[in-house]
Amino acid sequence: MIIKPKGTYDIYGIDMQKLEFINMLVNSYADTYNFKAIRTPIFESSELFHRSVGETSDIVTKETYDFVDRGDRKLSLRPEGTASIVRSYIENKMYGNKNDATKLFYNETMYRYERPQSGRNREFTQFGFELFGSNNEETDAELISLGYHLLNDAHLNKNIIIHLNSLGDNESRSNYQKALVQYLEPYLNELCEDCQKRIKTNPLRILDCKVDAENPILKKIPKINDYLSTDAQNQFKIVCHYLNLLDLNYEIDSNLVRGLDYYDHTIFEYITDDDDKITLGGGGRYNSLVKELGGPDTPAIGFACGIERIMNLINNDDLKGKEIDAYLMSINEEEKIKSLVLSDLLRLNNLVIETNNNNLSMKSQFKIADELHSKFIIILNSEDLKKGLIKVKDNLTKEETLVDENEIVDYLLTNI
Ligand code: HAM
């Protein structure tokens, strides 16, 4: 038997319903906030992720699925969406309309070579919202609230709290990095092997190291908030003020740095408000990325959420399957032919119909109709059919009615 690759999964049954429910929410929020859908390739030039997500980030050093194609091109399966969207924004010159923000959303599979565990897969799905061309603090608040409301609308069995921080501008980060190095250097040998390298290549990454997460040395680490420039501090204060106005449940988390290199200023994560602290999504400003990848200087902000993690927090009982309007029962050849023709007609009238697919007995068909919670059972019976009549049983009241076959569509449409 051939089995699926490690870290991948099949979605079917109730999970498919959960996925469709989240997709529906994402599309509906995109509509109300006026974001337009975008689709980009599953694979991109590896250089794109090196230059955006960061050469020294965990994603690029350990997690990308890299391959060389038959034309010797170095490609990677996308580990996240932002880099591709920025590439597409520049390549397709979407910055043409300078007066208005460009608002894009996606809902796509991503690939990271991670150690699979609950909520951490090698193939997973992210929905994301990216907004280009506005540096207003209102935009930060609007985007953060979009994700927060969407997650709250998903009827999760846990509450969500927004973790918020600011990485400030280049100057703030460079001052902070110096302070970090100064603090950590005496403890170098007590850090994990990766962090010993990070201190030289990208000290900020030490703050989100999975190995050193519980290391007591990191508990007393300097906080970035103390190194923010006055402008960055003011900007952050305004964002917090707006989140208060919108009454969003947030807390300032001064250890939050996010695992991707392109961020500056506001960063945030949606985390469950319990001991599990499951991160459902995250994002932030990336005001320099468009320029760094060759586009015009364009501020931008966005976030993405992991759909599988959200699905894990939706109770099965909270999802109603698609209800069957009518189950068509048939036994003999004449009844089966009538079932074929009538089901076709009813489905064209938008009714959800199931039929006897497997030559079942009357008893088994009644049982299946009950299991499917069919509202009506249409008992096609040769005797009735000869008189131009069709027996309809209301499966809730158990009442049976003989309906003229020419009126069956109207009868069902009015009684459903
Ligand atoms: P990220 O924090 O790397 O950000 O991923 C966002 C979300 O994707 C995570 O919070 C998590 O729910 C989900 N996720 C990440 N890795 C996995 C995995 N291996 N298995 C299952 N779910 C996973 C980004 O990707 C940024 N592009 C977000 C962003 C958009 N920033 C600005 N715009």
**Three-state secondary structure string covering 99-155:** CCCEEEEEEEEEECCCCCECCECCEEEEEEEEEECCCCHHHHHHHHHHHHHHHHHCC
Nearest CA to ligand 1 atom 14: 306
Mutate-to-test residue for ligand 1 from 11, 40, 126, 164, highest number of ligand atoms within 8 A of CB: 126
CA distance linking residue 112 with residue 123, whole number of Å = 7
β-bridge pairing 279-285 and 264-272: antiparallel
pLDDT at residue 212 in the model: 79
Rg (CA), the chain: 28
Q: Is the CB of 133 under 6 A from ligand 1?
A: no
The answer, yes or no, to whether any atom of ligand 1 lies below 6 A from the CB of 81, is yes
Distances (CA, A) of 155 to 6, 249, 409: 30, 16, 36
Q: Whose alpha carbon is nearest atom 16 of ligand 1?
A: 120
Please report the pLDDT score of residue 209 as a whole number.
Answer: 84
User: Does 305 contact ligand 1 (Cβ within 6 A)?
Assistant: yes
Provide the percentage of residues in the chain whose pLDDT is more than 70.
99
pLDDT in tens, 335-348: 999 999 999 999 99
Q: At what angle do helices 13-32 and 137-153 cross, to 10 degrees?
A: 150
Distance 338 CA to ligand 1 centre (A): 52
pTM tops 0.75: yes
| DSSP code string of 241-256 | HHHHHTT--EEE-TT-
Q: Is the CB of 208 under 6 A from ligand 1?
A: no
User: Which residues of the chain register pLDDT less than 70?
Assistant: 321
> CB neighbours of 363 closer than 8 A, spacing ≥ 6?
none
Please choose from 80, 104, 272, 307 the residue to mutate so as to test ligand 1's pocket, defined by most ligand atoms within 8 A of CB. 80
Instruction: Tell which atom from ligand 1 comes closest to the C-alpha of 281.
Output: 10
Per-residue pLDDT of 222-278, as tens digits, reads 999 999 999 999 999 999 999 999 999 999 999 899 989 999 999 999 999 999 999
- Ligand 1 atom nearest the C-alpha of 128 is 30
Q: Is 128 in the pocket of ligand 1 (CB under 6 A)?
A: yes
- Angle at which helix 230-245 crosses helix 137-153, to 10 degrees, equals 40
309 lines ligand 1 (CB under 6 A): yes
- The per-residue pLDDT for 298 is 97
Residue-level pLDDT at 100: 85
Please list, in sequence order, all residues whose beta carbon lies within 8 angstroms of the beta carbon of residue 201, skipping any fewer than 6 positions away.
Answer: 55, 56
Ligand 1 midpoint to CA 256 (Å): 14
Give the residue, out of 6, 53, 78, 110, with the most ligand 1 atoms within 8 A of its beta carbon, to mutate for a pocket test.
110
| Residue whose pair of structure tokens reads 């996010």 in the numeric block | 258
Residue closest to 323 by CA, chosen among 280, 355, 354: 354
d(CA 307, ligand 1 centre) in Å: 10
Report pLDDT for 378: 98
Residue with tokens 């999504």: 281
Cα 69 to ligand 1 centre (Å): 26
Name which residue sits closest to atom 12 of ligand 1, judged by CA.
306
What pLDDT was estimated at residue 205?
87
